[in-house]
Amino acid sequence: MPRPRAVSPEPAPERPKSIGQRLRAVRPLTDAQIEQILLHQRQHGLRFGDAAVALKLASRDEVARALSQQFDFPYVSTEDCALSPELVTAVSPFGEQAEVFRELRTRLLLEHLDPPQPRHALAVLSTDVGDGKSYCAANLAISLSQMGRRTLLIDADLRRPRVHQLFGLVNRHGLSAVLAGHQSAATALHTVAELPSLELLLAGSVPPNPQELLQRPTFTLLLQELLERFDHVIVDTPAASQGADARLLAAKCGAALIVGRQGRSRLADLQALAGAMARTATRLTGVLINQG
């Protein structure tokens, strides 16, 4: 009769670290200071992080970093990298502005980007320069990547590119070189160390013939290739006032989000741009009014 084998008990699952333990990894705190924070938390009905900030034992940035570690959520401090403070979804992910982009992300996913809807790249348009189009495109892309979805942000504004400035990168190689046949898309992509699910295709050198480059079949084939590789492709476009590039790009992407600026964008211009989307059978996902 075979002898029964001894079975080692499974190790108990490791208890998740508390916010206090996470905060200690970011900022050294003594046991006495932790007890002081816990007492203040109980007395005033605060969250641990808020109590630590109220007692000046931690900064908002340190609490946000600890929370991001606790919930495995990418968080970036502007003290540690070259990202612009405008990238609120990365540098202030728990603030009100970042929450606006999470709400936008949810609506777009439910109504336009997730199955059963057909897969499209999403072009982000505006009527004029300075409406916040690049700001919105970049923060939306970051927000999508924070869900763990592979996201690509393309700067297709070959007239006044800005994405490289937001991410603190040199705009040396990018889309213009790919469309001109001087570089492959694979070698032109940039990764963002602080945001592992996000990649960038910068505009590259500003060409003398942006519209002609974008009209080439190469761009359509490139989008198809990238849609196979990424879960979401967000395309920043030139302002509509700069030429027909934005309408052309929206038609090639198949879906568009229009950005306006409160107190500046004219309703007639927004309506005209929306009408142009309808005439090219481009799916209009909405109009976002930027209050910044």
**Do 188 and 174 form a contact (C-beta atoms < 8 A)?**
yes
Same domain, 56 and 117: no
54 and 197 belong to one structural domain: no
Six-digit token string for 36: 């002081």
Instruction: Note whether 74 and 195 are within 8 A (CB).
Output: yes
Q: Is residue 13 part of a domain?
A: no
Residues 229, 114, single domain; the answer is yes
55 located within any domain: yes
Q: Are residues 144 and 94 in the same domain?
A: yes
Q: Could you please report the per-residue DSSP string of 127-181?
A: SSTTSSHHHHHHHHHHHHHTTT--EEEEE--SSS--HHHHTT---SSSHHHHHTT
Burial class, 42, CB count within 10 angstroms (exposed 0-12 / middle 13-18 / buried 19+): exposed
Digitized pLDDT (tens) for each residue of the chain, 292 residues in all: 555 554 445 544 444 467 777 787 778 888 899 899 999 999 999 888 899 899 988 887 778 777 776 666 666 766 667 889 999 999 888 789 999 999 999 999 999 998 888 889 999 999 999 999 999 999 999 999 999 999 999 999 999 999 999 999 999 889 999 999 999 999 999 998 889 999 999 999 999 999 999 999 999 999 999 999 999 999 999 999 998 999 999 999 999 999 999 989 999 999 999 999 999 999 999 999 988 6
- The parent domain of residue 51 ranges over 19-70
126 inside domain: yes
> How many structural domains is the chain composed of?
2
**Are 60 and 103 in a shared domain?**
no
Same structural domain, 65 and 150: no
Classify strands 190-191 and 198-201 as parallel, antiparallel or unpaired: antiparallel
Collapsed DSSP state (helix, strand, coil) of residue 226: helix
Q: Which of 70, 97, 129 is the last residue of a domain?
A: 70
Give me the residue label for tokens 């393309």.
154
What stretch of H or E contains 257?
strand 254-261
Q: Do 58 and 118 lie in a common domain?
A: no
Model confidence pTM above 0.75: yes
Same-domain pairing of 256 and 117: yes
54/164 same-domain check: no
